[in-house]
Chain A
Amino acid sequence: DTEVTQTPKHLVMGMTNKKSLKCEQHMGHRAMYWYKQKAKKPPELMFVYSYEKLSINESVPSRFSPECPNSSLLNLHLHALQPEDSALYLCASSQPRTGVENIQYFGAGTRLSVL
């Protein structure tokens, strides 16, 4: 099973709303990632969790707040977003060890629209 599951598939929210994106994997991976992808652009790394600890934060605004409650789950909490935050948000997972063959498996994404 190489599946990464993301919910919801689509989300529309106002600029004052609070919502959360969820990601789940059962491959035993200990690294999980959030990416943001705008239309016709490559994924941009936002956050990396390694062994449930935040290891990389690519200067993402504080209105995005990641959380890794356990090794299978990754959340992205959203608050006071801007219209320019509308994008496809992708979750991925992999084994976190450097120096070894490492493949990232991606979920289908949550398409977020901020009104």
Chain B
Amino acid sequence: AQSVSQHNHHVILSEAASLELGCNYSYGGTVNLFWYVQYPGQHLQLLLKYFSGDPLVKGIKGFEAEFIKSKFSFNLRKPSVQWSDTAEYFCAVSPYGQNFVFGPGTRLSVLP
């Protein structure tokens, strides 16, 4: 069965620290990859997506992610986090346009 794993359940960082959240998936075919963010009390928002082409994709709010096909990974990065980045982050995989499979989520807490 397809699955998505996220390496960390809860990450705590100080402001200005660098962030990397891991995501791995188990599907062997072509996939669309996504990172969604859910701020406290708010709805899921798309941070960035990868469909094809350059494996390094840039999203909103200074986030970027790198697709490494050989590692089945799509890690999210940000060079310098802010307190306002405190949220739940979900990696999602869509096997070539089919339904989404979400990872379990990583809670990011940024200390001011």
Q: A103-B46, A106-B44, A108-B42 are in contact. Are A98 and B97 (CB under 8 A)?
A: yes
Interface string of A39-66 (1 = CB under 8 A from B): 0111101001000000010000000000
A33 contact set on B, CB distance < 8 A: 99
Instruction: Sort chain B's interface into a size bin.
Output: 20 to 34
B6's closest neighbor in chain A, by CB? Answer: A42
B49 with A42: CB separation less than 8 A: no
- What is the total number of residues of chain A having a CB less than 8 Å from a CB of chain B? 22
Find residues 81-107 in chain B having any chain A CB closer than 8 Å to their own CB: 88, 90, 94, 96-100, 102-105, 107
Q: A101-B32, A101-B51 are in contact. Are A48 and B43 (CB under 8 A)?
A: no
Interface string of B30-52 (1 = CB under 8 A from A): 00101010000011111001010
A97 contact set on B, CB distance < 8 A: 97
Q: A40-B88, A40-B105 are in contact. Are A99 and B42 (CB under 8 A)?
A: no
B104 with A103: CB separation less than 8 A: no
Contact of B104 among A41, A48, A98, A109 (CB under 8 A): A41
Find residues 18-40 in chain B having any chain A CB closer than 8 Å to their own CB: 32, 34, 36
Q: Which 10 A-B pairs have the closest CB atoms?
A: A42-B102, A108-B43, A98-B97, A106-B44, A102-B97, A101-B51, A100-B97, A99-B97, A42-B105, A106-B43
Identify the B interface with A (CB < 8 A). 32, 34, 36, 42-46, 49, 51, 88, 90, 94, 96-100, 102-105, 107
Identify the A interface with B (CB < 8 A). 33, 40-43, 45, 48, 56, 90, 97-109
